[in-house]
Amino acid sequence: MFMESVKQRNPKLIQTSIELHQSGSILPDTYVLDLDTIKENAIKIAEEAEKNQIELFFMLKQIGRNPAVAKMLIEAGIKHAVVVDFKEAQVMMDNNIPLGNVGHLVQVPESLLKKIMVYGSKYMTVYTVEKLQSINAIAKELGIKQKVLLRIVDEEDELYPGQYGGFTIDELPSLMCHFKKLENIEISGITSFPCFLYDSKEGYLKPTHNVETVHEAKKMLEREGFPIKELNMPSATSVYTLPFLKKIGGTQGEPGHALTGTTPMHAKESLAEKPAMLYVSEVSHNFKEKAYVYGGGFYRRGHLENVLIDQNGKQTESRINPLADENIDYYLEADMTLPVGATAIMAFRTQVFVTRSEVALVSGIHEGAPKLEGIYDSQGKYLRG
């Protein structure tokens, strides 16, 4: 999906990844991250966000919940993390990373609420009255007032399977009396996802119906005396999309894939952020005129198309055949025979946290002095240098 972009805009990342594999520094099924380019991307995003008065929370699930990258992003100007689930919250807390938003897309389990609230999160996203009541009770015990974002949904909203939940816009009026009883909670804003999408055929951004729902919910809450200051509208937050986010009324964005130059738009357009990530594997064997490459990092919505093969400097490319949904990615199948042991380089849309891959952090690529800073597992745990 992103191979042409990487070849054109970050060829040194390809060469460094090949060298790391062929020297034995990294194993097959490893994602290589170009730290310097990620930091440059983050600085550009942070500067554009400041121009548009939009608060940013970085999201790292797609590159493996990596705490070292998180600390670098804080230095680059994005000061807080948004965590996709409670397990990611634990990784960030274990590494002293400030939390900006917890609970969206996955609600915090009851047994972890107090731990997270003692640690502190700028906002917590909530789907139910029951969760609000639990947060309110703990906030009262701690002597704090917790800011929350309500996830509001409508029948016409765009939601992804596996992510359903929230207060419906129709039930919102009947819930106001419950909200007003929560003395240790400040209802600060509304959130939804996705709030806009990139139309690859037409080549422009389109707001989803979710945006209408967010604005309607804001009006309803404000009529009842709740001052709604924040409209959290995540979806492919980047330098290019930040002015659009402001235009549709958003006050908060959550850059994730843009940090590595891998939103769907980056596959089609030469945007401000450069590609900073590759998947590295190795040809295992050939069978019936097909080559089989070690898997482990495949993501079914990743739009993996091509593989670049390097055998001691001799390069070729091949197509990767689609993997059936019922199969585990023990191997990825190329549509031709290839040299056994050769390096395989791929670039596609990722969600590293759902894989069994390793993640290699590399600095100095563009100074001609690449340094392997560390190898982590897919959940952000340091493995080795």
Q: What pLDDT score does 326 carry? A: 84
In CATH, what number is assigned to the domain containing residue 141? 3.20.20.10
- How much is the pLDDT for 306? 94
- Answer yes or no: do 323 and 345 share one domain: yes
Verify that 147 and 276 share a domain, yes or no.
no
The whole model's pTM is what? 0.95
> Do 238 and 130 share a structural domain?
yes
Q: Which residue has the tokens 């197509």?
A: 319
Q: Is 86 left (phi over 0), alpha (psi -120 to 50) or beta?
A: alpha
Which residues have CB under 8 Å from 248's CB, separation 6+? 195, 196, 207, 211, 233
If one counts the domains in the chain, the total is 2
Domain extent at residue 313: 3-34+271-384
pLDDT value for 132: 98
Q: Are 259 and 276 in contact (CB under 8 A)?
A: yes
Regarding whether 142 and 9 lie in a shared domain, the answer is no
Q: Does residue 64 sit in the same domain as residue 167?
A: yes
Here the CATH number for the domain that contains residue 335 is: 2.40.37.30
d(CA 208, CA 138): 35
Q: Which pLDDT does position 314 carry in this prediction?
A: 96
In the listed set 265, 293, 318, which residue is the last one of a domain according to the structure?
Answer: 265
Same domain, residue pair 207 and 138: yes
Query: What is the mean pLDDT, run by run of 10 residues, along the chain of 385 residues?
Result: 91 98 98 98 98 98 97 98 97 98 95 98 97 98 98 94 93 96 98 89 86 97 97 94 96 97 87 96 98 94 90 95 89 97 96 97 97 98 95
Question: 3-state SS of the chain?
Answer: CCHHHHHHHCHHHHHHHHHHHHCCCCCCCEEEEEHHHHHHHHHHHHHHHHHCCCEEEECCHHHCCCHHHHHHHHHHCCCEEEECCHHHHHHHHHCCCCEEEECCCCCCCHHHHHHHHHHCEEEEEECCHHHHHHHHHHHHHHCCCEEEEEEEECCCCCCCCCCCCCEECCCHHHHHHHHHCCCCEEEEEEECCCCEEEECCCCEEEECHHHHHHHHHHHHHHHCCCCCCEEECCCCCCCCCHHHHHHCCCCEECCCHHHHCCCHHHHHCCCCCCCCEEEEEEEEEEECCEEEEECCCCCCCCCCCEEEEEECCEEEEEEECCCCCCCCCCEEEECCCCCCCCEEEECCCCCHHHCCCEEEEEECHHHCCCEEEEEEECCCCEEEC
The pLDDT value given to residue 204: 80
